[in-house]
A and B are shown apart, each in its own frame.
Chain A
Amino acid sequence: MDPIPIRFQVNGQPYVQAVPPGITLLSLLRELGWVGVRRACESGDCGACTVLLEGDPIHSCLYPAARLQGQAITTIEGLAKNGEWDAMQARFLEGQGFQCGFCTPGMILSARQLCGEGIPSEAELRDQLRGNLCRCTGYQAILESIQGIPASFALAVRFPSGCRRHSTFPESELESVGRNVPKQDGPQIVSGQPAYTGDFAPAGLLHLRLLRSPHAHARIRRIDTSQAQALPGVVAVLTHRDVPRRAYSTAGHAEPVPDPLDRFVLDEKVRFVGDGVAAVVAESVAIAERACQLIQVEYEVLPHVLDPLEAMQPGSPVIHDEPEARPMNVRVSGTEDFASRNLAGYVCLQSGDPAQGFAEADLILENTYHLPAVQHAHLEPHVSTSWLEADGRLVVRSSTQVPFHCQRVLAEITGIPRERIRVIKGKIGGGFGNKQEILTEPLCALATLKTGRPVQWELTRSEEFTATNSRHAMQIRVKTGVKSDGSLVAQEITAYANAGAYGNHSQTVVFLAGYIPLGLYRCPHKRFEGFAVYTNSMPGGAFRGYGATQGTFAVECQMDEIAHKLGLDPIQLRLKNVIQPGDPLTLGYREQQDADWKDSHFNLIGSYGLKDCFEKIQTAFSTPLPPPQGSRRYGRGIAISMQGSGLSKIHVAGVKLSLLPSGRILMRSGAVDVGTGSDTTLRQIVAQVLGIPINQIDLIAADTQETPFDAGSYASATLYISGEASRRAALALRDKLIQAAALRLQTDPDQVCFAQGCFSAPQGSLTLPELAQSTPDPIEVELHHAADESSLTFAVAGVELAVDMETGQIELLKIAQAIDLGTAINPRICYGQVAGGTAMGIGYALSEELIRDEQGQILNAGFRYYRIPTAKEVPPIEVHLVQQADPYGPFGAKGVGEITTNCIAPAIANAVFQATGLRLRRLPLTPERVWQGIQSGIDPPQPVRASGTER
């Protein structure tokens, strides 16, 4: 290979270099330390790698570095001049046009070009930004930033806020809670500073690549790694013979884990196309990749099964026949053998007597809904870096939602005591549940242990799509009996979830698929049976909504159908049946009291703003529906949903607060900010309690060595549970500070008033820094908190759309969503959650689906053919935050992370019905599916009267 000599400039800095012929500008820039250029897809689809080449924005992942002949490149790092933000950076800061920030440098550089001659119209911007994907924001905040934000969102505190000498603060900065305090990492994000895990490369770093199985199900008979080992630059090759054989689960859950332990770091059997076979650790990614292709594997190909219903049949290939795997601890009635039915999880919940209920019904509807496997598509891939400290401690920096669970799992796998392992969460470029999975860390750590050197493993986009996790594909049957006045008398759900090759999260995901939608409505007789079934496909895992999304689609579509059949208004039907304050969620409770894991998921109704949510949505769609136009038909639909705030009793969060000698507060929190902004909102809570500005609080977050334990970011728990921990810690610190001040002022603590960072008493006054300097012992507080109850958040969404009857294409015209979230600690950040979740729901409804061939190979493993919504496919989103303080959450706040996705797909399907008369029960609603429905003029199955014919 002949290196190519090139010269070029980056941000004014000249370089002369020789590069390999195939290296892209992206890799070259990152190697040179310009890490504001992000690697996200490497196929030209996402725009995260945008740079300016001689002033023109290009995707640097598509540009051969060898082609550089003296050109000048500008990256995000080169935009700010003389300490002044570039105008577009300033706009993004002002409008907070980001969440995780991974897409932001590319957005800014692209938007800058688009606004060269004035700001284009919104429609034009949406069209032109289709080469910039964002999975977090739903594009709303991005467009608002580019266009100049509406005044209502003007941020509370402006950058740069500077540090203050005096210790009393302007009153305007003292009220933190409820204000749009800017995300504290904003400047870091818009300037492209190194922050994400992959941005740091310790000296002597090795790279890991995994050879993956081409077969859906096979036994490895023989592996020959000698050729790979011999390739110069290869440092180690690991196969199943080189790693400990300890069964674990990739699901990041607190102990005792509810998930089957059925996975090995590497195994002699592969269970899906993409399962790991052997890892190469080498001096460069290129060498590691070439070496992978030199490994010779002899497979004994086994029969495979991809369909969950088939996999449950006797005689199906058994996917987990290994003796070490810990089987599920629940048993299916009448089935003694869990493994041979390929069951990864099973849930059965009942209250009342459904048969009796159906006998009383005037109308019974029974429908089956089909939900696809979809991918999280967080822009930052999974990545971890591991190394050994001088004292032999193992350190893993990772893009993880669960650093503490990761530490525990690493200890279990490696046999190294927990306290000798440190897991540091890097800044996360989006997770959505897929980083509640411990995927890259174990092999990375084992490679470091084997080589003694730092190792980094970053997944490629195609690996993200084929070898991480998906939302569980499900087939859900819903049978509902109602009286003619619309009151529900019996409801029964049966769900079959495709667990994929490993059982991580399946049991609990399936549980929520029934528990949430059945819990949402009052109904005397309910039953849920859920099966999570192993198949030879990529595992299902945790994904925003966590089963509730799937179940909500089924039930909310059917509720709409019931309303239509009974001639009732869909909103009235829901209001008539929906649970009310004081209603307990008892489904399955009586029978399952001994199943302790269920106790711990206990939800209840705290604050209840559902009626206001309905009103907001009704008002949002109060204009008359447009009449048909050519081949276009218009329709509207709604759906409602609920989701718990965290997991009660088992989700623990720890916070430590200390007064620093400078008078500032150091907050140590194990909580994980996945990009949502919780590093900001948690500080807001502390700031509020202490009555000081948020910029007086320094934060160290999510580092197993430096911060107290926190279960991690999942189940919409961070603000609700870690936030409450923060509030309590702040209250305790406040007491301690006052006591210490009282001692100094030689008075009684209740004589001391602490406000604006100043302690005053009749005897005199004292500032925080003065107190800090005069106290010999550190003033600090550490506490852990687990919620006793998990309050329910409710949501209502409405959609207006047009269907082209000739082509089946759906065009979304407007979406409004109202969320009953208690108190919005930071409304702007909550808006972001709602807009982002809404866009994710749009993808689920209209275009996203992992498609497999019969051999189990995923056919659309990239952004080109796996379509997440671009700005062009997202309509304006109207967000309503319905605020009624919750009695349990911190300052009345409830969880808002997950619920925002649930309502969108059913609302869209219901709107399609209104437009076309079609009930489509299979997602996504692709143009062809809609068109087929129109062609065959399928009528919804006739309702069945309860008189004897219960089918």
Chain B
Amino acid sequence: MDLHHLHTYIRPQQLEDLTAWDPGWNWLAGGTWLFSQPQPHLRGLVDLHPLGWNELEISAEGLKLGATCTFQQLLQYPWPPHWPGIRALCEGMASLASFKVAHLATIGGNLCLALSVGVVAPVLIALEATYTLIDLQGSLRHIPAQDFQTGPQQTLLQPGEALRSIWIPAQRLRGPSTFQRLGITQTDPALVIVAGSRDPDSGNYRFGLNAALSPPQLVQMGSQPDPEHLSQLLAEQIHGWIADFRASALYRQRMSEVLIRRCLDILG
């Protein structure tokens, strides 16, 4: 929708072009959230596109994704067949909105927006990813995926700081992965999200949970737990189940368990 309060639109060709940062500004990635609801406090947008942060680099050590890689770019990429770990990421992105939103929406935008219904964050937590943030001076810091988000629509990003790239280690990409969601319908923003991955060597499981809680959280297991153990594990490790007009905390908690069990079945 039209953002009637927007005064400024900037297209920096490089980061150094930005000498100042106004508290009313924000980065523009795909714009699929920014333009989807009124933004009464937003005064300016700084477009990330010209910076060309959409690299996709595959190496023996792992995968580097620029923050402005679009969903579509990643969904269409011919991934190496020995990387079943990428599957959860693709399933997660495919579950969001439609292919037309996917043409524009970026992976960084989904992470930085940090909605509780975010689809990318739980996957990257399961895949043990690390994020690289960059500030206006060009200094970088590296944050483990599970630490980046601090609450619904809250992250460690400082004003003027941006998510630059994402690193996923090859070890995780070599193991199986899966993305499970549950909503009121099959296509709405999820009530419960569980992304799971199994380490191909140690057999350890990592689960990224979201939508049922915020911020997204990591659950780790050494082996397939029995059902009671799983409930206990969640009760001990996880806090902050969301209760809102769409579902109760109890339902979200129980469904997270169900989805973890379904992940375990798939991951083997």
Tell me the A residues contacting B by CB distance below 8 Å: 1-2, 4, 20-24, 27, 42-45, 47, 50, 53, 56-59, 61-64, 66-67, 110, 113-114, 128-132, 285-286, 289-290, 460, 806-807, 809, 846-847, 851, 853, 859-860, 862, 864-865, 867, 869-870, 872-873, 926-928, 931-932
Contact = CB atoms under 8 A, between A and B. Distances in A.
A2 B8 CA distance: 6
Interface stretch (B153-161, B171-179, B205-213, B242-250): B242-250
B187 A926 contact: no
Given A2-B7, A131-B98, A927 B188 contact: no
B251 interface: yes
A723 B4 CA distance: 47
Given A64-B31, A860-B245, A865-B188, A20 B97 contact: no
Contact of B185 (A62, A285, A846): A846
B235 to A, nearest CB: 17
A806 B97 CA distance: 26
B31 A131 contact: no
Contact of B4 (A53, A113, A290, A853): A290
Interface in B48-88: 49, 72
A325 to B, nearest CB: 33
Contacts of B49: 67
Q: Top 4 nearest A-B pairs by Cβ distance?
A: A131-B98, A22-B6, A22-B3, A42-B1
A632 B55 CA distance: 44
A847 B188 CA distance: 10
B73 to A, nearest CB: 11
B31 A63 contact: yes
A895 B248 CA distance: 43
24 contacts: A1-B7, A21-B9, A22-B2, A22-B4, A44-B32, A44-B36, A44-B97, A44-B101, A45-B97, A47-B100, A56-B72, A61-B1, A61-B35, A62-B30, A64-B9, A130-B186, A132-B98, A846-B185, A862-B37, A867-B185, A867-B187, A870-B186, A927-B251, A928-B247
B103 A130 contact: no
Nearest to A853: B245
Given A870-B187, A931-B251, A27 B2 contact: yes
Contacts of B247: 926, 928
Contacts of B3: 21-22
A403 B5 CA distance: 37
B2 A286 contact: yes
Interface of B: 1-9, 28, 30-32, 35-37, 44-45, 47, 49, 72, 97-101, 103-104, 182, 184-189, 191, 245-248, 251, 254-255, 258
Given A20-B6, A62-B31, A867 B184 contact: yes
Given A926-B184, A928-B247, A62 B2 contact: no
B9 A66 contact: yes
A504 to B, nearest CB: 27
B184 A130 contact: no
Nearest to B42: A22
B185 A58 contact: no
A131 B100 CA distance: 7
Given A27-B2, A67-B47, A286-B2, A59 B184 contact: no
A872 B9 contact: no
A807 to B, nearest CB: 6
Contacts of B4: 22, 285-286, 289-290
Contacts of A56: 72, 103
A809 B182 contact: yes
Contacts of B103: 53, 56-58
A53 B182 CA distance: 32
A873 B186 contact: yes
B45 A873 contact: no
B2 A23 contact: yes
Most A Cβ at <10 Å: residue of B36, B49, B72: B36
A365 to B, nearest CB: 30
A21 B182 contact: no
A290 B35 CA distance: 17
Given A24-B35, A131-B101, A860-B245, 14 more contacts: A22-B2, A47-B98, A110-B98, A110-B100, A113-B99, A131-B97, A131-B98, A289-B4, A807-B182, A851-B245, A867-B187, A872-B187, A927-B191, A928-B248
Contacts of B104: 58, 62-63
Contacts of B35: 24, 44, 61-64
Nearest to B104: A58
A926 B44 CA distance: 40
A859 B6 contact: no
A898 B247 CA distance: 32
A104 B98 CA distance: 17
A43 B97 CA distance: 11
Nearest to A4: B9
A860 B28 CA distance: 26
B258 A43 contact: no
A932 B255 CA distance: 12
Nearest to A109: B100
Contacts of A289: 4
Nearest to B9: A21
Nearest to B182: A807
Nearest to B262: A806
Most A Cβ at <10 Å: residue of B3, B47, B188, B246: B188
A21 B184 contact: no
A114 B248 CA distance: 37
A57 B100 contact: yes
B5 A847 contact: no
Contacts of A44: 32, 35-36, 97, 101
A43 B184 CA distance: 20
A862 B36 CA distance: 10
Contacts of A64: 9, 28, 31, 35, 45
A285 B8 CA distance: 19
A931 B248 CA distance: 12
A869 B187 CA distance: 9
A285 B2 contact: yes
A805 to B, nearest CB: 11
A864 B8 contact: no
Nearest to B94: A127
Contact of B98 (A43, A128, A862): A128
A859 B247 CA distance: 13
A702 B261 CA distance: 60
A864 B189 contact: yes
A598 to B, nearest CB: 40
Most B Cβ at <10 Å: residue of A56, A807, A865, A873: A807
B121 to A, nearest CB: 19
Contacts of B254: 931
Contacts of A62: 30-32, 35-36, 101, 104
Given A58-B100, A62-B104, A807-B258, A864 B188 contact: yes
A21 B97 contact: no
Contacts of B186: 130, 870, 872-873
Contacts of A807: 182, 255, 258
A932 B1 CA distance: 38
A227 to B, nearest CB: 16
Given A865-B189, A926-B184, A131 B5 contact: no
A114 B100 CA distance: 11
Contacts of B189: 864-865
B241 to A, nearest CB: 13
